[in-house]
Amino acid sequence: MTQALHLDVDPGSDDAVMIALALALPAIEMTGISTVAGNSTIENTTRNACRILELFDRTDVPVARGCGEPMVGSFETAEWVHGPNGIRGDLPDPSTGPINRHGAEFIVDQAREYGDELSIVAVGPMTNLATALALEPSLPDMVANIYLMGGAAMTTGNVTPMAEANFRNDAVAARRVVRGTRPKMVGLDATHDATVPLSRIDEYKRATQPLKTVGAWLEYPEEVRKFGGGEEPAVHDAAVVAHLIDDSVLEFEPYHLDVDTTMGPSRGAVVCDRWAVTGNEPNADVAVAADTERFRSVLVETFERL
């Protein structure tokens, strides 16, 4: 059975790996991509999305440019992590550009068209998704699932001691989405275990295209790898689609969540009621662990199709 999938992304090298996984499988129908600023500017993330589709000869997938600024403040981009203009590797110039539709509107369009056949996967700042929720409050009831790559429920952050990058970059949007969609949140608790061996990365870098560029996407700077506590890089965004391919990749538990939107050092931190001390019912399913070997197997088996 084909699974319809809309991706909301800020490419970003790990976004690119996730897109490649989704494109490689006939069981996934990529219905569209919306872009948001985050890893780089909205101009760069939108162009990068089009370049990724060009690399895989999938320019049939529509791309909609979304929000370039968070709901409050400004984005802190991460080219030092992902490469110049937000992505590494040898990518072609795009032959197509974004459609004439805002990314948030496009998310709503997709939900109305595909309904409960559609899963939405948001792996950048949650600005587009929060805006889509304002445009269509019934959005969560219209689709099958809403997955978020962001947050750190019971572990430390990666851009501040408490906060993960996507949630920190637009804490207001993250709070609206967490409180309003009953999401499946895939945060650092699980994605730090979604790693790729250095030997596999070296193998891909020596391969022909497009695997050569996939290898470049996977090769994170050494100073980034420390956040997972090891030498092997974690490919955070790819964990979500890997789980859609093999539902044993991630383990979920229900919790009540909130997100800190104050302007202090905990801005963007997830407040997870782990021991149910508030008495609030769970409002999210939280990925608490990833099976590293299953994740790696999904990547290898899927990329053999490229």
Q: What is the pLDDT of residue 137?
A: 97
pLDDT in tens, 120-130: 999 999 999 99
pLDDT in tens, 28-73: 999 999 999 999 999 999 999 999 999 999 999 999 999 999 999 9
Mean pLDDT computed over 211-237: 80
Q: What is the pLDDT of residue 120?
A: 98
Cα 201 to Cα 101, 188, 214, 235, distances in angstroms = 37, 22, 8, 12
> What domains appear along the chain, each with residue ranges and CATH number?
3-303 (3.90.245.10)
- Burial class from Cβ neighbours inside 10 Å (0-12, 13-18, 19+) for residue 46 reads buried
Q: What is the pLDDT of residue 26?
A: 87
Mean pLDDT computed over 4-21: 97
Is the pLDDT assigned to residue 225 strictly greater than 60?
no
Mean pLDDT computed over 183-210: 95
Alpha helices by DSSP H, listed for the chain, are 13-24, 42-55, 79-82, 103-114, 127-135, 139-142, 165-169, 171-181, 188-191, 198-205, 211-218, 222-225, 238-245, 292-303
Mean pLDDT computed over 213-225: 81
Is the pLDDT assigned to residue 104 strictly greater than 70?
yes
Measure the CA dihedral 291/296/297/301, to 10°.
Answer: 150
Q: What is the pTM of this model?
A: 0.96
Q: What is the pLDDT of residue 193?
A: 94
Is the pLDDT assigned to residue 221 strictly greater than 80?
no
Average pLDDT in the chain = 94
Is the pLDDT assigned to residue 226 strictly greater than 80?
no
Residue of 294, 205, 214, 179 whose CA lies nearest to 248: 294
Helical packing angle, 171-181 and 127-135, nearest 10°? 50
- Catalytic residue, chosen from 82, 192, 236, 256, is 236
Is the pLDDT assigned to residue 267 strictly greater than 90?
yes
- Give buried/exposed letters for 109-133 (b at 16+ CB in 10 A, else e): bbbeebeeebbbbbbbbbbbbbbbb
Q: What is the pLDDT of residue 231?
A: 79
Q: Does the active-site annotation cover 236?
A: yes
pLDDT in tens, 132-191: 999 999 999 999 999 999 999 999 999 999 999 999 999 999 999 999 999 999 999 999
Per the document, the length of the chain is 306
